[in-house]
Amino acid sequence: MQKTFAALVVMVAISFCSIGYAYDGKGSGGRQAKHTLLSQLPADKEMLFHQTMREVRQRTVGIRQQINELKGEIKNILTAPEFDDTLFLEKIKSLQELHRMIKETRNEAIVKLANQFTQEERAILAELIPQKHRHYGRGAVR
């Protein structure tokens, strides 16, 4: 019994060590890679990038709140006893419009930055642009 328990403890310890060893730091949404890229920019351009992205977040805070509310409404429509397809499609269209507004604001910020960056700095900016919704593993073209 003691040998079995000791073997189990060793196996669990080895498992945790392997997980820790295999972890490459990318589980935080690529923050480490983003930080590395940003550190390649001159300090003033790095600060400009952060300030511009902060402005984007401030300008879109209301839109993001509306998105969260709409998602709740859409969930309620889907889980209601009677499904209203017209209302569902209307809410989805509104949700898509709000997402479009956020993307537009972000794109305007990128244009503002690109106009102030050199070609080399724009290459770094191109790597920093969010690459969301790539749907890897779902048959998407890579």
Interval 107-122 mean pLDDT = 92
Question: What is the domain-level CATH number for residue 64?
Answer: 1.20.120.1490
Range of the structural domain that residue 84 is part of:
40-128
Question: How many whole angstroms separate alpha carbon 3 and alpha carbon 9?
Answer: 10
Same domain? For 53 and 85 the reply is yes
Question: How many whole angstroms separate alpha carbon 96 and alpha carbon 77?
Answer: 17
Same domain? For 52 and 80 the reply is yes
Same domain? For 58 and 21 the reply is no
Same domain? For 53 and 73 the reply is yes
Over the stretch 18-72, which tens digit does the pLDDT of each residue have?
555 554 444 545 567 777 877 788 889 889 888 999 999 999 999 999 999 999 9
Residue 127 has a pLDDT of 85
Q: What is the rounded (10 degree) CA torsion for 29, 32, 33, 35?
A: 120
Domain for residue 6, yes or no? Answer: yes
